[in-house]
Amino acid sequence: MQIEVFNDSQELATHTAKFIINTVKEKPTATFILTSGDTPVQSYKKIVELAQPEDFAQATFIGLDEWVGIPATSEGSCRYIVEENLLKPLGINTAQYTFFDSMTDDLQSECKRVDQLIFDKGGVDVILVGVGLNGHIGLNEPGTSFDLYSHVSKLADITISTGQKYFQQSTDLSQGITIGLKHLLEAKTAILIATGERKADIMREIVAQEPNINLPATVFKKHTNGQVWIDKAAASFLE
């Protein structure tokens, strides 16, 4: 696990954007797994600012997770956030990307569908994730095995309460459907980004602990190319 600290969230976003753009220039057919949430939006907007739409003409994009029972048109869905801030502004063809269908009656088949897409693409080139206040990655909550591919998860209370910020009104959240940590471990490059003082406590825990399923983000210590990019505020409790 390689840790790099940036002066602020904007500097981190620029670094992340340039890395993703350089990746697709080196490998036009690259496959990316992308997260939603507040932290990556700056990076997505910076990609739109710096990239040419043709740079991503052959790339594949996969959404990291979704809230079960929340439609893709909801402002709090992974698809909505990534589409509105990255894919649509870049003019990416809808045939180039997929997100979990969180409204399906067969969630297990949906997990298998996304897994098969990843396998068919020869694996993931870059997976970009944030980190929850309890150390979750995607919607892989504490206690989740590192050996799982895509799966359905029961959401922790802190994830449910924190997740309300993505919706304009109180929303019932109980389950997630998510890329598993085994996909992360098998990705060529795994990147964790975190910004702000609210993430300082959990970043200290991640750095201090050995890999263990009770703190999912420690999976980065098992990755051969795990990159942790944080700003000074998120790093404020690190030695």
Within-domain flag for 21: yes
State the DSSP H helix or E strand holding residue 88, giving kind and residue range, or none if neither: helix 88-90
Within-domain flag for 219: no
Note the pLDDT of residue 48. Answer: 97
Q: What's the pTM?
A: 0.97
pLDDT tens, position by position, 6-55: 999 999 999 999 999 999 999 999 999 999 988 999 999 999 999 998 99
pLDDT tens, position by position, 58-93: 999 999 999 999 999 999 999 999 999 999 999 999
Within-domain flag for 36: yes
CB 230 within 8 A of CB 6: yes
pLDDT tens, position by position, 164-212: 988 888 888 999 999 999 999 999 999 999 999 999 999 999 999 999 9
The answer on pLDDT for 239 being more than 80 is no
Note the pLDDT of residue 172. Answer: 87
Note the pLDDT of residue 171. Answer: 87
The DSSP bridge partners found for residue 140 are 137
Within-domain flag for 143: yes
C-alpha 190/C-alpha 171 separation (Å) is 31
Instruction: Identify the CATH number of the domain in which residue 161 sits.
Output: 3.40.50.1360
Within-domain flag for 155: yes
What domain count does the chain have? Answer: 1
The average pLDDT across 111-132 equals 98
Note the pLDDT of residue 99. Answer: 98
Within-domain flag for 197: no
Q: What are the E-state strand segments in the chain?
A: 2-6, 31-34, 60-63, 65-67, 97-98, 126-129, 151-154, 175-178, 189-194, 226-231
Within-domain flag for 231: no
Within-domain flag for 238: no
Catalytic residues: 65, 134, 136, 141
% the chain with pLDDT above 70: 100
C-alpha 40/C-alpha 233 separation (Å) is 16
Write out the residue range of the structural domain in which residue 104 sits. 9-124+135-185
Q: What is the DSSP string of 177-198?
A: EE--HHHHHHSSEEEEEE-SGG
